[in-house]
Amino acid sequence: MLVAALGVASFVGQAAAQTGGELRFCLRMEPKTFDPLKVEDEASAAIRYLTGGTLVRVNRQSQELEPELALAWKVSKDGRQISFRLRSGVSFSDGTPFSAEDVAYTMQQLMDPALHSPTGDAFRSGAGSVETKVISPTQISITFPAPVAGLDRLFDQVAILSQHSPKKELAVLGPFMLGEYKPGASVLLKRNPNYWKADEQGHKLPYLDSIHLDIQTNRDVEMLRFKRGELDLINSLDSEYFDKLAATSPQLVHDAGPSLDSEQLWFNEVAKSPIPAYKTIWFRSASFRRAISEAINREDLSRVVFHGHAQPAVGPFSPANKFWFNSKLKPQVYDSNAALKALQSDGFRLENGTLKDKDGNAVVFSIITNAGSKTRERMAVLIQDDLQKIGIHVNVVTLDFPSLIERMTQTFDYEAIILGLTNVDLDPNGEMNVWLSSAENHQWNPQQKTPETAWEAEIDRLMRAQASSTDPKKRKEAFDRVQEIVVEQEPFIFLINKNSLSAVSTTVHNAVPVILSPQTFWNAERLTVAAK
C-alpha cells in the first residue's frame, strides 16, 4: 500500500492563527515515565502524545492514517516489511538533526526484550529479531520476522528518539517539550522551538506557548477548578458532572457519542483457582454465563449509572469502531424470566427465593471491583439487585487496585470481576494479548498452555489468521467471527460502552472533541487559548 501526501488534519471552525497562551488541564495520576517507549499509563501516554514525534499519525477525528515525520510509506505484500521516506530538514527540540538513523535506533530500543516496552509488544509477531536498514538519511526499511497486521497504524504509538542527543528521551520531535516537572504537582510542557510543522498559512505550530498539566486525582476538585476558570478543559468527564455542567453551561460540554471503551463482568474460569470447585463448574458453563448476561438490565446500567451517556454493549468492540465492529450483532435483551428458565433447564432450582444448583449449593458469589470507581461500584450494586430477582445472591466487594490486580493475575482468588477496557487502538491486533488463550490478559483464564475449549482454540486460529493477513476484507471476516464467538460464549459479559464526554472552555479555540484518545487535545498543536 503506497501512501504519499502532505495532508494535514482538517477540522471545523479553524480560527485565524493566534500565538501564545497556556492551556491548562489535569492529569488524573502521576506520570510513571517520560520515556516514550515505556509508556503504559494514561498520564504518561498524554505526555508522549504531546511531545513525541511519530512517523505517521491516526487522525483522531477521521480515524484515518496521515503522514507526519514520514512523507510516504509502503508496506510489503507479505506484511513483514515497511519502508518510510522521511522529511528532511527536521531537528529535535535541542537542535540535533533528525534522520533515518534515529528511526532505526528507536526501533532497536523498542524491540529490545530487556526493555519490556508495552508499545513494542504490538510489533512482536514471531520469533526472531527486527531488522532495520538505513538506506539514506531520509529512507529506511524495517523488516519483521513475521507479518504484522495493521503495521503502519502501529507507528502512531512510536515516538522517535534521538540516537545522538545528550538529552536522550527529553529531546523530542513533537509540538511540545518537557519544561518542568514537579512530582505530585504538575508538568509544564513548553513549545518546541524546532517543531517542523506549519499551518496552511505558513505560521509555525504549535500556536500555544505552553501546556500546564496539574496532577489532580480528585475529580470533584478538577470540576470545581474548571468551573472557576482555572482549567481550560476536562478530557474525560463523568456523566454525573456532565449533566450538572450541561444544566448551567451547555456550551461547555461535549458528548461525542459511544467511545471505544467498554465495561464488562467476567467470571473466574481458571481451573486451578482456590475458589470452590462447584463454583468453577458454574463459571465455566457458557449457558450459566449467558443466563447471567440475560438477567442484567444493561439499559438501566446506561440510564442509572451513566445518566444515559452510555449504550448497552454488544461485544468486544464498540460501534464507534466503524470498520471493525460487527454490525450484525445486537445487544443482549434483558429478560430475567428467560434467564431463570435457562438456569432451571441446566439443573438449577429456586427454593425459598434462593437459586440452588443440582447439588443443593446456593448460588452465591462475589463481584469485586476497584474501590474509588463510583460507576463500577454502582454497576455492581445494580447487578446485585438484578440477580437477586432470580435468587442469586451477590456480595459486592471493592478492593484497592493492587489487591484486585493481584487476585486477578496471580492468586486467581476471585469469583467475578467488573472492570473496563480502554481501547486506544482501533485495530483488533491491539487486543491480541486479550483474545489469545496463551496471553497474559486473557483475563478469565490466562496463559493457557493449550486452549482448554474448542471455542478458545477457534478464536486463537482466527486472531492469528487476521494478524498474518494484509487483506482488510479477510481480516474483517475473521474478526467478525471472533466477535460472534465471544457473544455466544460470553467469557466477558460486556455491559456498556461509555460515551466520550468532555468539557472545553469557550476560551479554547479549534477544539473538536472526538471519541479517540486524547479526546479534547488530539490537535493540541492547533489549539489556541483566548486571553482571560
Partner 1 sequence: MNLWRKLACALLAIVLCASAAANWLAPEGYARQDREAISVPPSRAHWLGTDELGRDRFARVLYGTRISLLLAPAAALLSTIMAALIGGLAGYLGGAWARMAMAVTDLFLSLPWLFLLITARALMPLNVSPLFSVIVTFLLLGLLGWTTAARILCASAGSLRTADFVRQARAAGVRGQRLFWIHVMPNLKPVLYAQFWISIPVFILSEANLGILGLGVAEPMPSWGSLLKELEGLVSVGEEPWKFVPLALLILVVMSFQFLLSNQEEVAA
What angle separates helix 239-248 from helix 219-227, to the nearest 10 degrees?
20
Nearer to partner 1, 227 or 464 (CB): 227
Nearer to partner 1, 179 or 276 (CB): 276
The DSSP symbol for 303 reads I
Residue from 195, 267, 414, 521 touching partner 1 (CB under 8 A): that is 414
Would you tell me how many other CB atoms lie within 10 Å of the CB of residue 353?
A: 10
Question: CB under 8 Å to 337, separation ≥6 — which residues?
Answer: none
Q: How far is the CB of 499 from partner 1 (least distance, A)?
A: 18
Residue 347, Ramachandran bin (φ over 0: left; ψ between -120 and 50: alpha; else beta): left
Q: Are 527 and 209 in contact, with CB atoms under 8 Å apart?
A: no
Nearer to partner 1, 194 or 239 (CB): 239
3-state secondary structure (DSSP) of residue 349 = strand
- Site for partner 1 contains 415 (CB under 8 A): yes
Nearer to partner 1, 260 or 382 (CB): 382
Question: CB under 8 Å to 49, separation ≥6 — which residues?
Answer: 174, 518, 521, 522, 524
Residue from 350, 396, 434, 457 touching partner 1 (CB under 8 A): that is 396
Find where cell 496463551 sits. 438
Residue from 40, 220, 351, 471 touching partner 1 (CB under 8 A): that is 220
Nearer to partner 1, 143 or 249 (CB): 249
Q: How far is the CB of 253 from partner 1 (least distance, A)?
A: 14
Q: How far is the CB of 109 from partner 1 (least distance, A)?
A: 37
Nearer to partner 1, 398 or 441 (CB): 398
Set of cell numbers at residue 367: 463481584
- Site for partner 1 contains 172 (CB under 8 A): no
Nearer to partner 1, 87 or 389 (CB): 389
**Ramachandran angles phi, psi of 419, nearest 5°:** -145, 180
CA dist., res. 174 & res. 514, Å (int) = 21
Q: How far is CA 275 from CA 4, 270, 279, 364, 387, in A?
A: 56, 9, 7, 12, 20
Q: How far is the CB of 231 from partner 1 (least distance, A)?
A: 14
Residues 293-312 that bind partner 1 (CB under 8 A): 300, 303-305
Of 162-170, 217-225, 343-351, 433-441: span binding partner 1 (CB under 8 A): 217-225
Q: How far is the CB of 291 from partner 1 (least distance, A)?
A: 20
Size of the site for partner 1 (CB under 8 A): 36
- Site for partner 1 contains 241 (CB under 8 A): yes
Nearer to partner 1, 397 or 465 (CB): 397
Residues 321-380 that bind partner 1 (CB under 8 A): 364-366, 368, 371-372, 374, 377-378, 380
- Site for partner 1 contains 457 (CB under 8 A): no
Q: How far is the CB of 233 from partner 1 (least distance, A)?
A: 17
Would you tell me how many other CB atoms lie within 10 Å of the CB of residue 6?
A: 9
Would you tell me how many other CB atoms lie within 10 Å of the CB of residue 224?
A: 12
Residue 96, Ramachandran bin (φ over 0: left; ψ between -120 and 50: alpha; else beta): beta
Set of cell numbers at residue 516: 479517540
Nearer to partner 1, 48 or 279 (CB): 279
CA dist., res. 516 & res. 235, Å (int) = 11
Nearer to partner 1, 153 or 279 (CB): 279
Residue from 64, 400, 471, 488 touching partner 1 (CB under 8 A): that is 400
- Site for partner 1 contains 385 (CB under 8 A): yes
What is the DSSP code string of 6-69?
Answer: ------SSPPPP----EEEEEESS----S-GGG--SHHHHHHHHHH---SEEE-TTT--EEESS
Residues engaged in binding partner 1 (CB under 8 A)? 220-221, 223-224, 227, 240-241, 244, 300, 303-305, 364-366, 368, 371-372, 374, 377-378, 380-382, 384-385, 395-400, 403, 413-415
